[in-house]
Structure 1
Amino acid sequence: MTDPAESMPAESAHILAWLREGEARFLDQVEGLTEDELREPSALPDWSRAHVAAHVARNAEAVCRLLVWARTGNETLMYHDIETRNRDIETGAGQDGDQLSADVRDTAGQLDAEIAGLPGPAWTARVRTFQGREMPASTTLWLRTREVWLHLVDLGSGVSVESWPGDLVDALLEDVTTTMNGRDDAPSWVLQATDRERIWRIGSGAADDLTYREVSGKAADLLAWLTGRSSGEGLAAEGVLPEPPPWM
């Protein structure tokens, strides 16, 4: 099989490595869960671990559809509608452990094959997410990477953001803070990483604006808090630690 890194934009090759590592770790966690553990609550409201696994499998299929769109030029939506998406997740969550593991494994393999088969020019083709955001097909790799790693934590099987590759933590912090900065109600925060020389700023004020509040801690702890994967353990703030707004 052709190495997809040969045809995709150079900056996407590193993202593909993160994606493959995340998918391998996610599958490893799912395969290690017993039937009873799969039915236990995940870290997401109203979803069992089986629901999280089924969602990740269905997401792989959805990203495949975007790449088919990029390759053929024929509009192929991620999901038909929200009802169909939710129904498919429920159906997938009802599978037994072996079936669910195979579902996660097979759909990741299908996506990898679609990535490998995408010709160079197709990576710049415009596609659209389920939320209506238009983007080049190359961005789907980042969306899938983000999805897999965050839901790896959401399985609630003992994996934390702290176990992630450090450069992935930094990249997602950049993504999350950039997204928050695009909102009219963005809070005024300075995020100071204590384990590397990095600062992330949220808000549109000047750098010396005294209304900014500083929140400090390890980069992984900052990311877990910003994305709702922790309540702020390990962080320090001026006064009471604020509650971050939804970022997606």
Structure 2
Amino acid sequence: MDASKTSQFVVIPPPTVGVPIQGSESLFPVRRIFCVGRNYAEHAREMGANPDREPPFFFTKPADAIVTGGKDVLYPGATNNLHHEVELVIALGEGGSAIPKEDALHHVYGYAVGNDLTRRDLQAEAKKAGRPWDTAKGFDQSAPIAAISPVSVCGHINSGKISLSVNGALRQSGDVRDMIWSTEEIISCLSILFALQAGDLIFSGTPAGVGPLVPGDQVVAAIAGLTPLEHTLVC
């Protein structure tokens, strides 16, 4: 039955998740969160993969994994090895299927800095057993994100320093231009697998240097030209 034609739901529907827009009172409504695995060569190598032979692959996080506004992030249960992964996040303002690469950037609303938090121990167990990564990647508060900068303000982010520091010490440092699969290629490939829609976010992969976080750690993630992301891990 079409939910729009029902008079009420049997439980209260969850609120739409919104991400702040830089310089605006408006919010970006989040529909889905897609993530690209191993999209920087050095990170692929540190995870034991060969970046020269692997086509892009994707996993997802639920929309309510988002944490905005620099809020504290709760250290998750069921892990002893939580890792940080700074990423360029692509926010889609238009959807589509089988989007040609040359048209892909027209679908981008803006960009943001995100942290793809990962239960690395659970991911390693899943890999060994040939199981999905959901518990390692899609847990509560696993997707902290800074305010989205519209393309009209920041332009398209296809190069620039990307970094993450923990308690003032640099952990990750690279350049967005080092992505194996570009923003255009990511959108085009993803749109073959899914019908993309406005409100979708794409975490585009992380450079080398991923490592553990513990409660009390203060994280600062940055990409040139975008609002930095800051958050603290708490118990």
Aligning the two structures, in what range does the TM-score lie when normalised by the shorter sequence? under 0.3
Greater per-residue strand proportion:
2
Q: Tell me which structure has the larger Cα radius of gyration.
A: 1
Larger relative contact order, structure 1 or 2 (CA cutoff 8 Å, min sep 6): 2
When you count helix as a share of all residues, which structure comes out higher? 1
TM-score normalised by L of structure 1: 0.25
TM-score w.r.t. structure 2 length?
Answer: 0.25
